Amino acid sequence: MRIAGAVRTVVAAAACTVLLTSCGSGSDDASGSGQRSGQAKEAEHGEGSRARAAEAGRIPDVGDRLQAKIPEDSRQVVAVYGDGVNSADSTVVLYTKTGKTDSTWEKARTWPAHNGKKGWTTDHRENDKRSPVGVFTLTDAGGVLADPGARLPYTKSVSMQAPHYWPKTHWHDFDYVIAIDYNRAKGTPPNDPTRPQGQTKGGSIWLHMDHGSGTSGCVSLSKSGMAYLLRTLDPKQHPVVVMGDKTNLAT
């Protein structure tokens, strides 16, 4: 049995293989539109509609298709609102239910973020530079840095270090990582190479630290944001991520 926050060991050779095809690709550059203020992006996504949806016990701006995939026992949702299907800009919002009988999602924190440099897809493929649309559980975390007090099981390993032949702006991408359970084995370190749906469906889709532009499929936000999520997401609350561009989210 694993204990949340316990440090696990990983095989460096396998990790390097995964990292070369993960979201922090050396082909990413500063051609993305860059980060914008969280306040401006909040306005674009419609603060009023979010509040009304939250009152109805729903994650704001998420349609029936994805809403139905949120587990009934989940009390923490990381929502990633992509600006557009071909945009690398997004906003991350943490929603929580505070009481055991509370059916209302309350907005806890908001951060500007980035997703795949080519946007979003409902049929993610290896190296397509798009982030997968969907609802995915969050069960494992790790990074190059020491555990900041994570509630999810945390693996500290230098094998997650971004290769230094990548641009210097990317070297700290994986200081903190939360694995998104897309085509991966739950209960393993984020850089475990297992791909249950096969290699062509891609993998190593993570929440990780931002380098100022789009990723190769992951979602990235500030170091402080990652630290907050690591200290807040609790396996007992069954956290999930709901992610996609605003059109696919609303479907």
20 Cα distance to chain centroid = 18
Which strands make up the sheet holding 76-82, listed edge to edge?
A: 134-137, 240-245, 76-82, 89-96, 106-114, 219-221, 206-209, 177-179, 140-143, 154-156
Q: What tokens appear for 84 in the block?
A: 């557009």
Closest CA to 84 of 244, 250, 218, 211: 244
Closest CA to 131 of 242, 212, 20: 242
Catalytic residue selected from 45, 114, 170, 208 = 208
Would you say 239 and 233 are in contact if contact means Cβ atoms under 8 Å apart? yes
Q: What gap in Å lies between CA 162 and CA 183, rounded to an integer? A: 21
Residue 27 — φ and ψ, nearest 5°?
-80, -10
218 is catalytic: yes
Question: What number of other Cβ atoms are within 10 A of residue 225's Cβ?
Answer: 22
Catalytic residue selected from 23, 114, 218, 238 = 218
164 is catalytic: no
Amino acid at 7: V
Catalytic residues, by residue number, are 208, 218
